[in-house]
Structure 1
Amino acid sequence: MTNKLDQLRDLSVVVADTGDIDAVRTLKPQDCTTNPSIVLKAVQSAAFADHFARAVAAGKGKDNAVRVIADDLTVTVGAELAGLVPGKVSTEVDARLSFDTEASIAKARALIAAYAERGIDKSRVLIKLAATWEGIEAARVLEAEGIECNLTLIFSLAQAVACANAGAFLISPFVGRITDWYGKATGQTYTPETDPGVASVRRIYDYYKSNGINTVVMGASFRNTGQIEALAGCDRLTISPNLLTELHEASGDLPRLLSADKATGMAPIPMGEAEFRWAMNEDPMATEKLAEGIRNFNIDTEKLYAMIEKALAA
C-alpha cells in the first residue's frame, strides 16, 4: 500500500505551506502558498542570503526603500517557489491594507507586474487577501480583471459565502486556529470527528458543492495529520512540511471523506455587506481570529522591515 501522502494526492491537490526551498524540492507539492510569516522565515535562511543582499542593494536610495525592498523579497520568494512547483503560488498583500479596498487592488496589481518582470504569468500567481469585507470586495474587482485571488483567514461560513459571491478563485478556511479557540474556550480536547475546525471546513465545502460554486476550498492551518485525514477529498489542502513528512512516513488506508456527490443540498444564504458584518458580529471566534491573524501577519511584516532597515544602515 502506498503511503498516506501519496493516497492524499489522489484525493486532493496538495499544497506546501512553506517558503522552504529544500522542503518543496523534496516533497514535490502541486502548489505553494506564502504569507508574511513564511516570507520572513524564508529571507532569514541561507538559501535567500544572496537574494536579500541584492534586493537591499537594488532598493537603496529609492523612495520608500524599505517597502520597495520588502515587496521585491516577497515576489522573489514566490518566484523561486514558482520555479519548483507546476501549479500556482500565493502571494499576500500587506496586512495593513486589509481594510482598504482600493489600496489592496493597487498592491495586487503591482505584485502581478513584479512577477511579470520575472517572466511569471499571472496565471501562476494567486493574490492572497484577508477575508475582511474590504478584502473580499478587492477580490471582486481583481477577479473581473483576470487576477485570481486566494481569500485567507477564513473562519466562518459567512466569509466563505461572501467570497463565493465575489467570484474568488480560492478560499483558505483555517482549521487549527478554530480548534485552538474552542479548546481554550471550553477546555475540551477534540478528535478529528468532533474537531470544530474540521467541521467548519466540511460545512463550507458542503455549501459550495450544494450550490454549484466553483470557488476552490483549500483547508489550511493544521495542527496534526488527523485533521488533514478528516478532510481527505477537499479540493486542496495546504500543509506544513513537518505534517507532509508525517503523512509520507505513515501507512494504512486513507479513505475519501469529502466529495461533491455527498452534498446535503444546503440552501443559498443571502450575504450583502450588512449581513456579513452582522454575521461576524455574532461570531466572536471568527471576529477574534480574523483580527489576530491580520495583526500577527503585520508583526512579521514589521520584523522584515526592521531587517531591511538594519541592512540599509550597515
Structure 2
Amino acid sequence: MSKSLLEQLRKMTVVVADTGDIQAIEKFKPQDATTNPSLITAAAQMPEYQEVVDQTLLQAKKDAGGTSQAEIVSLAFDRLAVAFGLKILQIIPGRVSTEVDARLSYDTEATLTKARELIAQYKAAGVGRDRVLIKIASTWEGIRAAEILEKEGIHCNLTLLFGLHQAIACAEAGITLISPFVGRILDWYKKDTGRDSYPAAEDPGVLSVTKIYNYYKKFGYKTEVMGASFRNLGEITELAGSDLLTISPSLLAELHVTLGELPRKLDPAKVANLEIEKISIDKATFDKMHAADRMAFDKLDEGIKGFTKALEDLEKLLADRLVRLEGEVVATH
C-alpha cells in the first residue's frame, strides 16, 4: 500500500511546522516549529488564544509599572512570542524558533541584546538553550550578531535568506541553521520574467536551495539547511532530503493526504563529485555579491519591511486589546 508523501518525507528530512497555531501543531506533530510576527499576529486573533494574549498584556502592564503604553506593548510582544514558544514546546520534541524584532536587522548590538533577553525569558520558564533557535535576518550585521551568540551557546536560525553569499557567510560564522525562502524567490522571478509558473525542477527557489545544500555538503559545513516559504507541493518534493523543511499547515495537510513515491532529491552522497568553487566571504565580498544579486537585494529589503509591518500590526492589536482590558478592569471596580 502506498504511503503518504508526509510519512516518506519524515524519513529523510526533519519536518518543521511554520505556524503559531497550536492546534495545527498538535495535529501534524512536527519535530520543530517556527514562528514570526505574522504568524503570531494571526494566532493572537484566534478566540482560543485570547486568554494567553490577555494574561501576557496584563502581566506586562504590571511589570512595566508606570511606563508608557508603547513600552508595555513592546514588552508584551516579546513575552507573547515566548508564551507561544512555550506552548509549542509542550507539544513538539524539538526546537522552536523565536524571532528578533526585524527593526533591529541592521544593528548588531541591539540584536545581541534582544536575543539574550529572549533566551533569559525561556530560561526563567525552565527551557534550556538547546530547545530554542533565535531567528535573525540574514543581513551582514545579523550574521555577525549570530556568530557571537553561537559562541555563547545560543543557537540561531538565519532567516530571510535568498542568496548564496548570505548562506556562505552564515556557514563561515558557524550558524546552527539557515532558512532560505523558496517561495519568495519564485515570486520574484515570476514578477521579473512575467512567467505564470515554473516546473518544480526548474523553480528558481528550488534551484537556489539545492545549490546552497550542495555547497554546504561539499565543503563539510555543519550549518543545516531548512527550506522555507513554500508556494506548492512540487517545491517541497523537489527538496526532499534537505536537512529540514518548514511547512505551513495547509501544505502539511496536502502532503498527508497525497499518496505516491517520494524519491530523495538532495543527498550528501551525490555531492562529492560536483565541481563547486569555494568562496570566502568578507564584508566587501558580501556587499558586492548582494548588490549584484537583484533578487536577494530586493527580497531581503522587502522581507525586513514586511516583518516590520507585521510587528507594527501586532503592536496595534495589542495596544487596542490593552485599552479594552483596562476598560474592563475599571468597569469591574
Aligned counterpart in structure 2 of residue 162 of structure 1, from 159, 169, 190: 169
Question: Structure 1, residues 111-150: CA drift from partner, whole Å, max 9, x if none?
Answer: 0000111111111000000000000000000000000000
Aligned counterpart in structure 1 of residue 211 of structure 2, from 184, 197, 203: 203
- Residue of structure 1 equivalent to 2:123: 116
Q: Does 1:312 align with 2:322?
A: yes
- Residue of structure 1 equivalent to 2:245: 237
Q: Does 1:79 align with 2:91?
A: no
Letter in 1 for 2:38: S
Question: What SS does the aligned partner of 2:198 have?
Answer: coil
Please give the alpha-carbon distance, in whole angstroms, between the structure 2 residues aligned to 1:79 and 1:291.
Answer: 30
Letter in 1 for 2:210: R
Alignment check: 8 A CA contact 1:21 1:47 kept: no
Letter in 1 for 2:97: S
Question: Structure 1, residues 167-192: CA drift from partner, whole Å, max 9, x if none?
Answer: 10000001010011001111222001
Alignment check: 8 A CA contact 1:211 1:266 kept: no
- Residue of structure 1 equivalent to 2:58: 57
Please give the alpha-carbon distance, in whole angstroms, between the structure 2 residues aligned to 1:114 and 1:23.
Answer: 25
Question: What SS does the aligned partner of 1:90 have?
Answer: strand
Unaligned runs of 5+ in 1: none
Aligned counterpart in structure 1 of residue 151 of structure 2, from 144, 152, 171: 144
Question: What SS does the aligned partner of 1:14 have?
Answer: strand
Letter in 1 for 2:48: A
Pairwise CA RMSD: 0.9
> When the two structures are superposed, what TM-score results if normalisation uses the length of structure 1?
0.98
Alignment check: 8 A CA contact 1:210 1:265 kept: no
Aligned counterpart in structure 1 of residue 133 of structure 2, from 118, 126, 130: 126
Question: What SS does the aligned partner of 2:135 have?
Answer: strand
Please give the alpha-carbon distance, in whole angstroms, between the structure 1 residues aligned to 2:152 and 2:275.
Answer: 32
Question: Structure 1, residues 266-294: CA drift from partner, whole Å, max 9, x if none?
Answer: 23201000000110000111011001111
Letter in 2 for 1:134: E
- Residue of structure 1 equivalent to 2:327: none
- Residue of structure 1 equivalent to 2:290: 280
Aligned counterpart in structure 2 of residue 251 of structure 1, from 259, 262, 279: 259
Larger Rg: 2
Unaligned runs of 5+ in 2: 325-333
Question: What SS does the aligned partner of 2:201 have?
Answer: coil
Question: What SS does the aligned partner of 2:264 have?
Answer: coil
Deviation of 1:313 after TM superposition, in Å, equals 2.3
Deviation of 1:311 after TM superposition, in Å, equals 2.3
Letter in 2 for 1:223: R
Letter in 1 for 2:145: A
Deviation of 1:265 after TM superposition, in Å, equals 4.6
Deviation of 1:58 after TM superposition, in Å, equals 1.0
Structure 1 stretches of 4+ with a deviation exceeding 6 A read none
Please give the alpha-carbon distance, in whole angstroms, between the structure 1 residues aligned to 2:239 and 2:317.
Answer: 38
Deviation of 1:2 after TM superposition, in Å, equals 1.2
Q: Does 1:302 align with 2:303?
A: no
Letter in 2 for 1:268: K
- Residue of structure 1 equivalent to 2:330: none
Question: Structure 1, residues 185-213: CA drift from partner, whole Å, max 9, x if none?
Answer: 11222001111100000000010000000
Q: Does 1:70 align with 2:80?
A: no
Deviation of 1:52 after TM superposition, in Å, equals 0.8
Question: What SS does the aligned partner of 1:222 have?
Answer: coil
- Residue of structure 2 equivalent to 1:3: 4
Please give the alpha-carbon distance, in whole angstroms, between the structure 2 residues aligned to 1:308 and 1:180.
Answer: 31
Aligned counterpart in structure 2 of residue 292 of structure 1, from 289, 302, 307: 302
Question: What SS does the aligned partner of 1:153 have?
Answer: strand
Matched length:
314
Letter in 2 for 1:149: C
- Residue of structure 2 equivalent to 1:46: 47
Alignment check: 8 A CA contact 1:210 1:267 kept: no
Structure 1 window deviating more from structure 2 (260-269 vs 196-205): it is 260-269
> When the two structures are superposed, what TM-score results if normalisation uses the length of structure 2?
0.93
- Residue of structure 2 equivalent to 1:271: 281
Please give the alpha-carbon distance, in whole angstroms, between the structure 2 residues aligned to 1:26 and 1:213.
Answer: 34
Question: What SS does the aligned partner of 2:157 have?
Answer: strand
